[in-house]
Structure 1
């Protein structure tokens, strides 16, 4: 029987505490107090600092060839965690076990000497990571080609733009065949073409067995690229699992008025019950709705200033359906009840695929439609008409209502699951249809060809 593979990273109860001093001189005084306490064996007076726990009791394993996304608001502890794993920061408590070569793209330009040229920094970084000068020479052309910064590689790094610095850093860290690659928001600096090049490289590394820790605020990037996601808030690991599911908790933390730290598995739906005087209105609106299959995950959040009562899709004949024929026209509708006066409503829909990647989204604001003030107890509908040019498969519909300040009133992330069928042959290599028209025109002469190309 084959022995299980050793995880390249294992964290056990990692914590990191910083001392925050009100005055710089208090740091020196505290050092003296700590020294006397150690010598005399007496408890010192009240400390001259307050404690800030950047991380508390964090533990997880990273498996070989696994890509793990890390989500969390600014200040959640993500960068501190990565620095501890990379070995540039010591934890206050807990143990970190690592195996193999770990390369990291942390703070932009970290590890580069700004006075050295790009070429000199390549050799410096590679040799710090354990490569001999001969090994670096053998890989230098690949690094320079991937970075694609031209003759700037022979100029001091202090003359580089942030994008050029990121290009060189990414090229160095990924060409060295790491066992673990840590990426902390670095890809957001590069241009779109280079970002796409980086993701191709990351996929190649993962297929070859490299484990990847990937920090990003881009939920689509995490759900489409990563095998697992971790959610941090206030220094604690509050959720771990399938990226699509973890991203829902992250959205709630970002946009809720009073976000909760975690949502236990199997938690009850957050919908409030209608008050007695409003019950008849709710019943009247929902009466006659056909009994539908249970939505796989009716996850929702918001302060319920307005409440989504129903989300549905109707075909051209006004019949409710959840099986859409690709290319046909449909109306998507949400029925909403205001529980208080609303003057700044932003309402809309998002369609995403089963990997959690947003395919389409629209709000009344992006459509240039102003929703008038709405009184308490007023019911209304929000609807859009679409041509469902989607490839065959499963999709999920999100319905959301928020205020002008971004606070969510009611957001149903997986409000409806629908299926698209009868995909035209056009969709053999794509998800959406942009209605292309192909043309072929024969150019008679070389002179006409050159004239066409050069205008």
Structure 2
């Protein structure tokens, strides 16, 4: 697979000088020591192949926006190089630099012109852009009258009016309404299927795992992890949950995936199993079968309050169902070191055919962002087979009552 984008040992420093004369001197290669220097990126390297779909993830301040600006040429690297083969279309900021006094139509002409398309080609594409945006008469009204969602509709429509070699979509897409988000992701998938290389910045693990072949995690301006989307997102979630005295470990799971475990270990999952109605541990179950998840938690320290959460995920790592004992009003209080808590969670496995995993979280409230005692991905895996029901497709068993009349 030939690379259409290569980032090689890239670093970007933002510098403040004591005077404008010192700054100008640097333009001519005259050394001048800056008063302040902040490195937003350090030694970032990766390559993206033609037709590959890659997610760029990381917390705010990780360097994602700076990296995208280097890739699109808005900024130049302080060190290293960025090589791009082909035409890039990018949605980095809401509105693509739209002029608030211009109409949507006028801004489309301007924005597409800056992207390098001739006016005749833009005019030919205009009806499709207007139709995709679906903002009605507002298309010929000043952009200052638009909501942020309407700006996003026009921005995305013009950015994707012509299929680029590389499409970059930043988090800006999240401001759109649910209908337009679905419509946008459908177009993104179509571009991907036609061979466009995708680079998507998102905190939405479901979107990342559904669209992308790979994910790159940036942290403090450096590449922390580069690999399968589910492994990277698991590690990213653990990183977010990490707190003082907490740690993140990664080990190879028997399924072949990477298992991420994080937390202070003040409480840990000592054992977990899935059992059938006879109380027998099972790895394979029937669609709709009544099963029970049994979890034993051991406290390694005195804990004021303990909440158990669990999440069932499909083979791509996307959430299928999850809850916790905070929401069910079954939190445990005043636990001593060495004490154990046993949980029995019964449910009907109304799931589609496929493999699933269970992740667990031990926390003190409804979120892992307060006290993360333990966050364990791939705590358990199991497989669902259709042994006794009519054939169906999908991830959920929702048996219908179909009435047919002639």
- TM-score, length basis structure 2: 0.92
Measured after TM superposition, the shift of residue 382 of structure 1 is 2.4
Taking a change above 3 Å as real, the CA distance of residues 160 and 109 of structure 1, as seen in their structure-2 partners, is: same
Q: Is the 8 A contact 1:8 1:100 kept in 2?
A: yes
Note the alpha carbon deviations across 1:375-409, whole angstroms, 9 max, x for none. Answer: 21111112311100111111111111112353321
Q: Is the 8 A contact 1:103 1:182 kept in 2?
A: yes
Measured after TM superposition, the shift of residue 35 of structure 1 is 6.4
1:91 and 2:91 equivalent?
A: no
Measured after TM superposition, the shift of residue 150 of structure 1 is 0.6
Specify which structure has the higher proportion of strand: 2
**Alignment counterpart, residue 311 of structure 1, candidates 272, 276, 297:** 272
Measured after TM superposition, the shift of residue 38 of structure 1 is 10
Q: Is the 8 A contact 1:228 1:242 kept in 2?
A: yes
Q: Is the 8 A contact 2:246 2:265 kept in 1?
A: no
Q: Which has the larger radius of gyration?
A: 1
Aligned pair count reads 403
Match of 1:136 in 2: 122
Aligned-partner Cα distance in 2 for 1:306–1:262: 15
Once the two structures are superposed, the pairs formed by residues 243-392 of structure 1 within 5 Å of their partners are: 243-258=229-244, 297-392=258-353
Once the two structures are superposed, the pairs formed by residues 41-52 of structure 1 within 5 Å of their partners are: 47-49=34-36, 51-52=37-38
Match of 2:381 in 1: 417
Match of 2:13 in 1: 17
Taking a change above 3 Å as real, the CA distance of residues 114 and 230 of structure 1, as seen in their structure-2 partners, is: same
Measured after TM superposition, the shift of residue 341 of structure 1 is 1.5
Q: Is the 8 A contact 1:239 1:262 kept in 2?
A: no
Taking a change above 3 Å as real, the CA distance of residues 43 and 84 of structure 1, as seen in their structure-2 partners, is: closer
Aligned-partner Cα distance in 1 for 2:199–2:394: 29
Measured after TM superposition, the shift of residue 440 of structure 1 is 5.5
Taking a change above 3 Å as real, the CA distance of residues 145 and 295 of structure 1, as seen in their structure-2 partners, is: closer
Q: Is the 8 A contact 1:313 1:332 kept in 2?
A: yes
Aligned-partner Cα distance in 1 for 2:329–2:405: 39
Specify which structure has the higher proportion of helix: 1
Aligned-partner Cα distance in 2 for 1:265–1:313: 22
Aligned-partner Cα distance in 2 for 1:36–1:214: 38
Aligned residue for 2:75, secondary structure, equals coil
**What are the ranges of 5 or more consecutive residues in structure 2 without an aligned counterpart?**
none
Measured after TM superposition, the shift of residue 240 of structure 1 is 0.4
**Alignment counterpart, residue 394 of structure 2, candidates 420, 430, 439:** 430
- TM-score, length basis structure 1: 0.82
1:159 and 2:120 equivalent?
A: no
Match of 2:372 in 1: 408
Aligned residue for 1:335, secondary structure, equals strand
Q: Is the 8 A contact 1:328 1:388 kept in 2?
A: yes
Aligned-partner Cα distance in 2 for 1:263–1:85: 32
Aligned-partner Cα distance in 1 for 2:98–2:397: 45
Taking a change above 3 Å as real, the CA distance of residues 206 and 295 of structure 1, as seen in their structure-2 partners, is: closer
Note the alpha carbon deviations across 1:163-220, whole angstroms, 9 max, x for none. Answer: 0011111111111211111101122111111111111100100111111100001111
Q: Is the 8 A contact 2:246 2:264 kept in 1?
A: no
Measured after TM superposition, the shift of residue 295 of structure 1 is 8.1
Taking a change above 3 Å as real, the CA distance of residues 140 and 301 of structure 1, as seen in their structure-2 partners, is: same
Note the alpha carbon deviations across 1:46-74, whole angstroms, 9 max, x for none. Answer: x532x221111111111111110111111
Q: Is the 8 A contact 2:248 2:262 kept in 1?
A: no
- Between 1:415-424 and 1:383-392, the stretch displaced more is 415-424
Q: Is the 8 A contact 1:185 1:215 kept in 2?
A: yes
Aligned-partner Cα distance in 2 for 1:35–1:355: 52
